[in-house]
Amino acid sequence: MTRKPPAPFYRQVYAIVWKIPPGKVTSYGRIAEMLNNPGAARQVGYAMSALKNRADDPGYVGIPWHRVVNHQGQIVIKGSGEGRLYQAELLREESVEFSKDLQVNLDGHLWEGLLPHEVQAVLEEAGINPKYE
């Protein structure tokens, strides 16, 4: 049962998220900026949310979605706190430190991100036509 592939912007987001190294985090807004689409931070979050509908879709399992937090380093999954605790657990397994309960210590764990030409290469590698620029 092949499933309809995600929309273009979501695929761009996933291609970037794959590149976040273990033990590092970045924010929804910074991913949007890397994609040359500042202001689309909410859409980045929505792309993460959409992953739970693809738990059985090979190619989208294993995306390190837990390494994406808000610009303050906080875990902001919506719903009853289970999702937040789960994300915190996944990060702790990578020795990410929290200054408070669910507040990531960004000083030591913020991902440097990709340069524009590196983003291009990543999108190219993912076979995404550079439609969105």
The residues of the shown chain that bind DNA, judged by CB under 7 A, are: 6-10, 27-30, 37, 39-46, 48-52, 65-66, 68, 70-72, 76-78, 83, 87
Minimum distance of DNA from residue 85's CB (angstroms): 13
Q: Is 120 or 128 the residue whose CB approaches DNA more closely?
A: 128
Q: Is 52 or 117 the residue whose CB approaches DNA more closely?
A: 52
Minimum distance of DNA from residue 72's CB (angstroms): 7
Q: Is 40 or 119 the residue whose CB approaches DNA more closely?
A: 40
Tokens of 22: 């273990």
Tokens of 12: 């761009």
Minimum distance of DNA from residue 49's CB (angstroms): 4
* DSSP codes of every residue in 26-87: EEHHHHHHHTT-TT-HHHHHHHHHHGGGGTT-TTTTT--GGGEE-TTSB----SSTHHHHHH
Are the C-beta atoms of 108 and 23 separated by less than 8 Å? no
Of 86, 85, 73, 96, nearest in space to 22 by CA: 96
Secondary structure of residue 23 in the 3-state scheme: coil
DSSP at 95: T
Q: Is 58 or 133 the residue whose CB approaches DNA more closely?
A: 133
Minimum distance of DNA from residue 3's CB (angstroms): 10
Minimum distance of DNA from residue 96's CB (angstroms): 14
Q: Is 39 or 58 the residue whose CB approaches DNA more closely?
A: 39
